[in-house]
A and B are shown apart, each in its own frame.
Chain A
Amino acid sequence: MDNAHSPTVPAVEDDAAPPGFRLIDFRRDRVEVTFNTHIGNLWAKRGEKGTADEFVMGLRVRDKHCNPAGTLHGGMMMTMADLIGGMGAGTLAGIRKFLPTVSMTFDFVAPARAGDWVEGRCEVVRATRSLLFSHIYLTVGAEKILRASAICKIPSGDGPSFGKAKLVDRPE
């Protein structure tokens, strides 16, 4: 019997994340395992405001992220880009609430392989009162592997409370 569907808390692996990256703790103290935890680990690095590195998400590609060809599954790339379109672009735009995705376009320009370190960055194209337009790139080293364009809704008021993820230095 494989354990792939088991909803137990996944063990945090040593992803050998590059310096500056901290683990995104989506769980906080909740018991249930949500999608973001289940597919992890996801890492983040915060850089100087206004630079391309202001928000960087990182992923060490594991077998569980791959397709039968042994390359990073498009679904995993889309998941990472979707998260960056909300969390990353929201951070850059100074919006601290849950931003539901309205529309996304993904261009799969190159594969990534198990063991690769993938980074994701975004650019805010425009934030209106109700919509956030962003571009997202996933890269391995200097090579782009995914280009995405996202539109997120900015809910009026506070929106639903989302239990914000926090960055932790090392998994407990």
Chain B
Amino acid sequence: MAVPDGFVEVAGLSGFALANGPWYERERDDVMVRGFRAEARHANTLGIVHGGMLAAFLDSAMGMAVWRGLGRRSVSLRLTFDYLLPVRVGDWIEATAEVVASDGTLAQARGRLRGPRHEVLTAAGNFALLKPDRPPRAGQAR
């Protein structure tokens, strides 16, 4: 299925992310956007994309924002999601995220997911920062 201009496939995915990919990224004006095309295997029988899939995808974008903003790997501690409107099979879905606060051990981030017609999901997250000397994994894929 078609991928919008400028998006490249995220390399190095494994496990859950690989099984539910491909996922794409585009960096423009220092803003990173993650996207994926919803397929039947992301949805329920009504053709509505599963809330778990959307949460997983936005979590990955938020973790990436922590990595880009702070240069630190992290693990999710607490995530809160508000589901606004459904998205359907065939929709191109984009995630953006930003770090809003951090100290040496914790980062707080916000994330938004948009579909072609409307905003889909908003999130607030708390992330535990891993030790800076831990080497990044290939591609930082989550």
Residues A38 and B19 in contact, CB atoms below 8 Å apart: yes
CB distance from B88 to the nearest CB of A (A): 13
Residues A5 and B50 in contact, CB atoms below 8 Å apart: no
Residues B40 and A34 in contact, CB atoms below 8 Å apart: yes
A47 touches B (CB below 8 Å) = no
B23-66 toward A: CB 8 Å interface, digit per residue (1/0)? Answer: 00000000000000001111111101111110111011000000
Q: How far is the CA of A96 from the CA of B39 in the complex (A)?
A: 26
Q: Which residues of B contact A162 (CB under 8 A)?
A: 44-46
**Residues of B95-142 whose CB lies within 8 A of A:** 137-138, 141-142
Residues A65 and B16 in contact, CB atoms below 8 Å apart: yes
Residues A104 and B76 in contact, CB atoms below 8 Å apart: no
Q: How far is the CA of A82 from the CA of B55 in the complex (A)?
A: 10
Residue of A nearest to B139 (CB): A68
A24 touches B (CB below 8 Å) = no
Interface residue SS majority, chain A: mixed
**Residues of B65-92 whose CB lies within 8 A of A:** 75-83, 86
When the two chains form the complex, which single residue of B15, B43, B79 contacts A68, counting CB atoms closer than 8 Å? B15
B17 touches A (CB below 8 Å) = yes
Residues B77 and A108 in contact, CB atoms below 8 Å apart: yes
Residues of B within 8 A of A (CB): 12, 14-22, 39-46, 48-53, 55-57, 59-60, 75-83, 86, 137-138, 141-142
Interchain Cβ contacts under 8 Å between A and B, 29 examples = A7-B40, A7-B41, A33-B41, A34-B41, A34-B45, A35-B50, A35-B53, A36-B44, A39-B20, A67-B14, A67-B15, A67-B142, A69-B137, A73-B17, A73-B56, A74-B79, A75-B20, A75-B52, A75-B60, A78-B56, A79-B51, A79-B52, A79-B56, A82-B55, A83-B52, A104-B55, A105-B78, A105-B81, A162-B44
